[in-house]
Amino acid sequence: MQLTRITKDNEKYFLPLFPKTAAKASEDLIRIGLVSDEGSVAGGLSARIYEGFIDILSLYIVPAFRREGLGRRLVDFMAELAKNNGYDALTCEYPKEELSDDFSRAMGFEQFEGRTRYSFTMGEFLRSPLYKRLVREKKDTHVPAVSSLTLEEKKIFLRHTGARLYDPDWSTACIVNGKCMSCLLAVHEVYLQDEREQNSIGILLMESSQGKAMDFLKHIQALWRKSLKEFGEDKDVVFRMTFENEKIIHNMFELLGRKTHLHREGSYVRAVRLL
């Protein structure tokens, strides 16, 4: 059994193993494949590189080759690769109903955080009173994207949030007098829904040092303005949230109003393997 890097030259043999979002080649994506001694595809793993850690997006072993420890071999290889390149952790997220913590422990993961994922659509938000009051009519409250922070501000931000999954272009932070007063971490993803691509914005974290609702609203306003700029009034864009503190989610939906419906998508587990 051989490990091989999946490239554009050989990806056609491995792409059926991966969901579309975990298959598309990009600079921040690592794709590793398994090839049997007979030359057939046996499995594959894809992962995305973030600052300080690597997040596994997909792991699949062809049924004929299961129970041979190949899943653990792929994860161990990725962990070694991450460690040798200076990363602190290997992470993954999976539906609680599909995998057990025992399976994750068998893959070498050691820390587990339970989360519930909720969602609402852009169409529902466009019908909410908050859209008209905060986005269409109110002047923009400037909360800078993490990608636009100065080097010193980024250091303050990273000390505050630690190694987390986020997209700096979609995440925002308020830095005042050398302190991170509030922040929102988000990531843009593309899912395959009914044979077509669907844009999704994952809201991963909202924090405020003073716990004020208006602090959260400033970041939500900035996020929606960017969403409207990127996608227009595409009613099918989905916002997803997986906070540890569900009270924040419910408070936000009270602000959105009754026309926005909170959909519970299921329970998820975030697993971490420290390197």
How is residue 150 written in tokens? 């100065």
Instruction: Quote the CA–CA distance of 168 and 188 in Å, as a whole number.
Output: 10
CATH of domain 2-87: 3.40.630.30
Over 60: is that where the pLDDT of 260 sits?
no
**CB contact set of 120 (below 8 Å; sequence gap of 6+):** 238, 239, 253, 256, 260, 261, 262, 263
Average pLDDT, the chain: 78
58-90: b (≥16 Cβ within 10 Å) or e? bbbbbeebeeeebbebbbeebbeebeeeebebb
Over 70: is that where the pLDDT of 133 sits?
no
Instruction: Quote the CA–CA distance of 155 and 30 in Å, as a whole number.
Output: 26
pLDDT at 18: 76
**CB contact set of 207 (below 8 Å; sequence gap of 6+):** 161, 182, 183
Domains of the chain, by residue range, sit at 2-87, 116-266
* Residue 160 pLDDT level (bands cut at 50, 70, 90): low
Q: Are 35 and 26 in contact (CB under 8 A)?
A: no
Answer whether 2-87 and 116-266 agree in fold. Answer: yes
Task: Return the CATH fold of 116-266.
Answer: Aminopeptidase (3.40.630)
Q: Apex CA 194: angle with CA 191 and CA 198, to 5°?
A: 30
pLDDT at 227: 87
pLDDT at 177: 86
pLDDT at 76: 92
Over 80: is that where the pLDDT of 250 sits?
no
**CB contact set of 145 (below 8 Å; sequence gap of 6+):** 168, 169, 170, 171, 172, 222, 226
Percent of the chain's residues with pLDDT above 90: 2
Over 70: is that where the pLDDT of 130 sits?
no
pLDDT at 199: 82
Over 60: is that where the pLDDT of 70 sits?
yes
How is residue 260 written in tokens? 């926005």
SS3 33: strand
Q: 54: burial class by Cβ within 10 Å (0-12, 13-18, 19+)? A: buried
pLDDT at 268: 74
Mean pLDDT computed over 26-34: 81
Kindly report which listed range (52-56, 123-127, 140-144, 200-204) carries the lowest average pLDDT score. Answer: 140-144
The winner for highest mean pLDDT among 133-147, 152-166, 180-194 is 180-194
Mean pLDDT computed over 224-234: 84
Kindly report which listed range (31-40, 151-160, 174-183) carries the lowest average pLDDT score. Answer: 151-160
